[in-house]
Amino acid sequence: MPELMYREALNQALAEEMERDANVFLIGEEVGRYNGAFKVSQGLLDKFGSARIIDAPISELGFTGMSVGAAMVGLRPVVEMMTWNFAILAMDQIVNNAAKLRHMSGGQLRCPIVFRGPGGAGGRLSSQHSQALEANYAHFPGLKVIAPATPADAKGMLKAAIRDENPVIMFEGERLYALKGEVPEGEHVVPLGKADVKREGTDVTIITWSRMYYFCMEAAEQLAQEGISAEVLDLRTLRPLDEEAILASVRKTNRVIIVEEGWALAGVGASVVDIIQSKAFDDLDAPVERVTGLDVNMSYAANLENATQPDATKIIAAVKKVLYREGA
């Protein structure tokens, strides 16, 4: 299997879907002649032309709403958000229009559209540019929300998102774009709504998604050396949550921690805890632990930035807490 960078996997998904379906177009800031702020759309303008790879003005609300309108009448837009921080300006069009069109029209309209771009801390960019905002979108009925961690999932889930009949919000990782992994060629479609056990284990379940996945794998490796067998469940889709996969893993290991880059209050992890306590309470041998970003704004200084985010050390401590092996 070829090894690709995360950004190349996305590029491949876009190119394949645009090749397959002329209704698909890409719009966003710098996606065309600049080849993408993170080079996800490298080479696509030359391949597909200026009506299908569109350099938009810096008008997030405007071009997002315009794309929603195009989706209402049969096109399948992919809207690139330079980062999700800027997409806050477009939230009205996503939440009040895209997510509600099917409902307001009583089933007359559909809105097949993908909003995608990087989320999470970019690295030394301070508070306005370093936010994990997926929980905001996971809140809304009418949307699907995905956050793949690996290049293979990035490709397969973007292809599934473009083919989906609903608005799909895709969080990529600003720090994941250059990361390499094996990616199946051609028709590789990963169904939305399905979590993936990325590492099997028996003592504890670590639930996570997106970039935090790599800290979790690092922690699991280290724990293995201490004889602790951790299962890593990559949610991949945050709306709808894969309850079945979550509960199956909880029933297997009886101990759970949830690792989330974003803030704890009203985070996605809080909802996962809720599912577990209401449907698998008797399977738990310890209260569920959460490792989240600290409840502060992100700083520029390297030490403060690091301290704000989850890392393998924090994850290991949480695992030991649910195993009652603190200090071990």
Partner 1 sequence: MEAPAVASPYSKEQLLTMYRKMYLIRRFEERAGQQYTLGKIAGFCHLYIGQEAVAVGPIEAIRPDDYMLSAYRDHGQPLARGADAGMVMAELFGRGTGYSKGKGGSMHIFDIEHHFYGGYGIVGGQIPLAAGMAFASRYRNEDRVTVCYFGDAAANQGAFHETLNMASKWKLPVIYICENNRYGMGTAISRTSAVPEIYKRASAYDMRGEPVDGMDCLKMYEAVKDAAAWCRAGKGPVLLEANTYRFRGHSMADPATYRSKTEVEEERTKNDPIPKLRAYALKNKLGADADFEAIEEDVKAQVDAAVKFADESPEPSVEELWRDTIVDEGEQDVRPRERVLGVKVTNWPKYPSGQELKVTWDLEPREQAEQADKKAGLSR
Q: Is 139 a catalytic residue?
A: no
- Expressed in angstroms, the distance from the first to the final Cα of the chain is 41
Q: Contact region for partner 1 (CB under 8 A) — 50-58, 176-184, 242-250, 267-275?
A: 50-58
Least distance (Å) between residue 104 CB and partner 1:
4
Cis status of the peptide bond prior to 77, with omega within 30 of 0: no
CB of 211 to partner 1, least distance (A): 27
Least distance between partner 1 and beta carbon 238 (Å): 15
Binding to partner 1 by residue 70, rule CB under 8 A? yes
Of the residues 16, 17, 29, 60, only one is catalytic, namely 60
CA-to-CA dists, residue 156 to 127, 166, 195, 237, 325, angstroms: 31, 17, 13, 12, 39
Query: Rounded to the nearest whole angstrom, what is the least distance from the CB of residue 148 to partner 1 in the complex?
Result: 20
Q: Minimum CB separation from partner 1 for residue 169, in Å?
A: 13
Tell which one of 15, 30, 61, 224 touches partner 1 (CB under 8 A).
61
In the shown chain, the binding pattern of residues 158 to 197 toward partner 1, with x for contact by CB under 8 A and - for none, equals -------xx-------------------------------
Residue 69 binds partner 1 (CB under 8 A) = yes
Q: Is 75 in the site for partner 1 (CB under 8 A)?
A: yes
Give which of 173, 152, 153, 326 is closest to 235, Cα–Cα.
153
What is residue 124's three-state secondary structure?
coil
Residue 23 within binding range of partner 1, rule CB under 8 A = yes
User: For partner 1, which stretch binds (CB under 8 A), given 59-67, 149-157, 261-269, 305-313?
Assistant: 59-67
Q: How far is the CB of 191 from partner 1 (least distance, A)?
A: 10
Cβ-based neighbours of 67, under 8 Å, separated by 6 or more: 27, 77, 79, 113
Question: Has 60 been annotated as catalytic?
Answer: yes
Rg (CA), the chain: 20
Cβ of 177: how many Cβ atoms within 10 Å?
20
Query: Which of 244, 221, 248, 216 shows the shortest CA–CA distance to 232?
Result: 216
How many Cβ atoms are within 10 Å of 310's Cβ, its own excluded? 22
With residue 50 as reference, give the H or E element that holds it: none
Q: Which is nearer to partner 1, 91 or 125 (CB)?
A: 91
**Which residue matches tokens 């889930």?**
157
**Nearer to partner 1 by C-beta: 7 or 52?**
52
201 membership: H or E segment, kind and range: none
Asked if 92 interacts with partner 1 (CB under 8 A), we say: yes
Q: How many CA atoms lie within 13 A of 168 on its CB side?
A: 29
List active site positions.
Answer: 60, 129
- Which stretches of the chain bind partner 1, using CB under 8 A? 20-25, 32-33, 49-52, 54-57, 59, 61-77, 92-93, 96-97, 101-110, 141-142, 144, 165-166
